[in-house]
Structure 1
Amino acid sequence: MSKDIRIKKGLDIKLVGEAEKTTIAAKPSSYYAIKPEDFHGIIPKMLVKVGHKVKAGQALFHSKLDEALLFPSPVSGEISEIIRGAKRKILEIRIQADATQEYQDFGKKDAAKMSGDELKAHLLTTGCWPFIKQRPYDVIANTEKTPKAIFISGYNSAPLAADFDYTLSGKEAELSAALTALTKLTEGSVHVVTKKGGNSPLATVTDVTSHKVSGPHPAGNVGTHINKIDPVNKGEVVWTINAHDLVIIGELLLTGKFNASRTLAVTGSQIEKPQYVTALIGANIKDITANNINLDNTRIISGNVLTGKKETPEGSLGYYHNQITAIPEGDDYEFFGWNKPVFDKVSTSRALTFSWMQPNKKYDLTTNTNGEHRAFVVTGSYEEVFPLDMYPLQMLKSCMYSDLDEMEALGMYEVAPEDFALTEFICVSKQPHQKIIREGLDLMLKEIG
């Protein structure tokens, strides 16, 4: 069964530096890093120490609140360093990789012959459970709750995002195995959303509910799909999984090995040759972008420009990311920038801006915010790029003054910070929308659970 979703509200930000559809293997990194902060709300309890030898797939730490929730090493090697911050908070675990990788053998599994409880236990044991997130709260899924539905987005509409039709090509067996497993974890539907007119390997998988989506960004956001297909009400839970993480889960079931490799897009105007690179989770950015990046006054981002995280060349690929972006740092001051015609920036306003006249033009944007933080200015512009059936401004304000009843009534149960990335981008008040929503969700999780 296929259903079409058409998104009218949104904004496509076309940037210079889209990845060409050629793939190379990244230079092997001398060490790989796992950062507990990638797993929001998780307090790590270490299972290894500096000097310990580990295999790929072996657990490095578990959640302090749930010992069954394990987080595996992406490579085999030796624990070279555990970096700590204030109050001995664990910031980063570094593994010096072996020249020849050794995998922990979890055994081959046929998901079709396993029960839901058996699959859940296997995903926890193998460290694949952190790939599964839940709405509400946009955190790692609670193993004690059963979702009413599971959502997978096979289309990423963010600026310069990796093309899943390309990166998932040839992975049909792994995708099928993973989706078969997911159907055992819910009594509801597994919804797979792909781009209308595309050629996604996900579109050929059976036993799932397929949807085609079209329209501007955030047409590819899973939050948009949830809102249009099966909204989350109080007391309900849905799970979400990134399409590229399905490949890791599927390969684990078919081979018994935790292979943390993924194909990522190396993009942006500061990349000399934008292309696709195969690398492992936690790989060094300097090795992924070796001899292919201009580091002069450059902002490096793990992820996309709207929701990614700022990194240094010595940083590492985020656990959930399949994109590295490099754009110019916006540290310059533009004289009378507010009072002259603007031809080289994207804007939803037509006041002295002209990007609306060239919808297909690609821009070389910097990180400059073009203004400073101020109180909310009510312009009605948020609603123009926000396709969810909600009131974005009112939701942001309810988070800021911590009104739980109002947050519930406005629909906070089904949103995540990424759903407010576009409203933050166009905000004339320069308010940190994603941070506001994240803090609101954390408050709801603490007070309501």
Structure 2
Amino acid sequence: MAETIRIKKGLDIPLAGRLSNDVSDNVSAIDFALVPDDFPGIKWRVVVSAGDEVQAGSKIMEDKGGSPISLVSPVAGKVTGIQRGERRKIEAVTLVREGDGKADLKPDFSTAEQVRDTLQRCGLWAMLHQRPYDIIPAADAQFRDVFVTAFDSTPLAPEIVTPDMYKDMEEGLRILAMLTEGKVYLGTAFGAGITSSHAEVVEYQGPHPAGNVGVQIAQIRPVNKGETVLTLDARTAARIGHLSLHGELDTHCEVGITGPEAKHPKTIRTTVGVAIKELVKDNIVGGKKERIISGNVLTGIRVDESGYLRFPYRQVSIIAEGDTADEFMGWASMCPRIYSVKRTFPSFYLKARRLFTFDARVRGGHRAMILSGEYDKVFPFDIYPEYLLKAIIARDIDKMEQLGIYEVAPEDFALPEFVDTSKIPLQKIVREGLDYLRQETE
């Protein structure tokens, strides 16, 4: 029987626009892209040129450091362009689908060394992350344990895996066990009923961020200085298993189109890196300026209709910008439609019984950090978040290490950022702190 861990601190945001049971196939998508910023920790070099023909699984980018870690094409077709930004930074490699050819990847999972080589060549290693630093692991990284999360507790999140993927996921867990001398932990939602013979299943009960892999690590065996753990979601584990069982790369994904400005919230089966315009076509309420987010509203990336679906390739959220909103009495309004986590509005007492239509407004001005304990109510770590953030801002490495920076990632500070009365970009601060620590200590 699976162990059950209850998460008491956190917050489930009652956002309107939940998924329906509708599932449709997006068969008309032809435009795709790979965005290297989705895969941090590696300096990428493009190995194709505009006009080159590629197959699904063909190498598109490689590690400048010389390791075999690669990014591969999700579709067969042609490279249409290489988008560059300032100082010729690679922003995206765009592709158009033509045909259904697949590269011969020759996967070999017979030994731990072959597992590493196969995952790195086939683009799946780039979908893995490590703690500390929340980056792609080095090609030769040694892992204390492996943590796989099988559920997403963020607002309006779709299921990470469905029952038809369980066989592939189980095979993926078997392969992942070859990468560590420790244990493989599979975190599932309470009552999910998922079992595994290759991983220790742990069920989590409670509000978001119960689905965050960092929270799951903290509840079982926190990361200490000098240790490295491998983290991934169960969909990536299923992709690994699919490659082993079928000999081909699975680049399909199930994307939830969610949010209050989605006309018909639903799930679309498509391919990773698909153009956003294909996903939201004829499915935006309209009548106001909207914000499209690739991902969830807490940690997702703002895109427009000319952009592309970003990693982890499972959700698009659509909300109003709110730049033309006009509310009577503003912050002093007693309107029950305005959400608050504090006793400022009547909605505090209604939040368990209704859904709210959020927009992109910050609803406040930037000010100094207030040590009020508001972060702690939604931060289920044995860490003092305010003091850790101050140590990061001061670039005090000793204090950062003492206060637990090796345990956290930017996504763990998404809820504190949401409830923060000071409107401080906490996730950005943590990301910069992790990058600085890695630069100074490695």
- Once residues 50 and 168 of structure 1 are traced to their aligned partners in structure 2, the CA distance between those partners, rounded to angstroms, is 37
Cα contact 2:170–2:238 (8 A) shared by 1: no
2:332 is matched with which residue?
Answer: 339
- Aligned pair partner of 1:115 in 99, 111, 115: 111
Partners in 2 of 1:28 and 1:134 — Cα distance?
36
Instruction: For residue 333 of structure 1, report the CA deviation from its aligned partner.
Output: 5.5
CA-CA distance at 1:43 after TM superposition: 2.0
Aligned amino acid, residue 322 of structure 1: R
1:136 to 125, 132, 153: 132
Matches within 5 A, 1:321-400: 321-331=313-323, 332=325, 334=327, 336-400=329-393
Structure 2 equivalent of residue 226 of structure 1: 217
Equivalent residues of 1:108, 1:254 under 8 A apart: no
Code of the residue aligned with 1:160 in structure 2: it is L
Q: TM-score when scaled to structure 1?
A: 0.95
The 5 A counterparts of 1:2-401 are 2-98=2-98, 100-107=99-106, 109=108, 111=109, 114-164=110-160, 167-199=161-193, 203-295=194-286, 296-331=288-323, 332=325, 334=327, 336-401=329-394
What secondary structure does 1:144 align onto?
coil
SS at match of 2:120: helix
What letter matches 2:117 in structure 1?
Answer: A
Q: Is the 8 A contact 2:128 2:137 kept in 1?
A: yes
**Structure 2 unaligned spans of 5+:** none
CA distance in 2, matches of 1:70, 1:446: 22
The code of the aligned residue for 1:185 comes to L
* Structure 1: 5+ residue stretches without partners: none
Q: Do the aligned residues in 2 keep the contact of 1:56 with 1:259 (CA within 8 Å)?
A: no
CA drift at 1:10: 0.5
Mapped contact 1:56–1:73 kept (Cα < 8 A):
yes
Per-residue CA deviation, residues 225-252 of structure 1 (Å, 9 max, x unaligned), is: 0000010000000110122222222211
- Which residue identity is paired with 1:7? I
Aligned mates of 1:356, 1:408 — CA distance in 2 = 39
Q: Tell me: CA distance 1:352–1:172, structure 2 relative to 1, closer, same or farther (3 Å).
A: closer
CA distance in 2, matches of 1:211, 1:425: 28
**What is the aligned partner in structure 1 of residue 421 from structure 2?**
428
| Cα distance in 1 between the residues matched to 2:396 and 2:107 | 49
RMSD: 1.5
1:440 CA drift (Å): 0.4
TM-score normalised to structure 2 length:
0.96
C-alpha distance in 2 between matches for 1:352 and 1:291: 35
Dislocated runs of 4+, deviation >4 Å: none
Contact 1:108–1:256 (8 Å) recurs in 2: yes
SS in 1 for 2:332: coil
Kept in 1, the 8 Å contact 2:35–2:91? The answer is: yes
Contact persistence 1:27–1:288 (CA under 8 A): no
Aligned length: 440
Aligned partners of 1:363 and 1:346: how far apart in 2? 7
Residue type at the aligned position of 1:89 = K
**Contact conserved, 2:111 with 2:178, CA < 8 A, in 1?**
yes
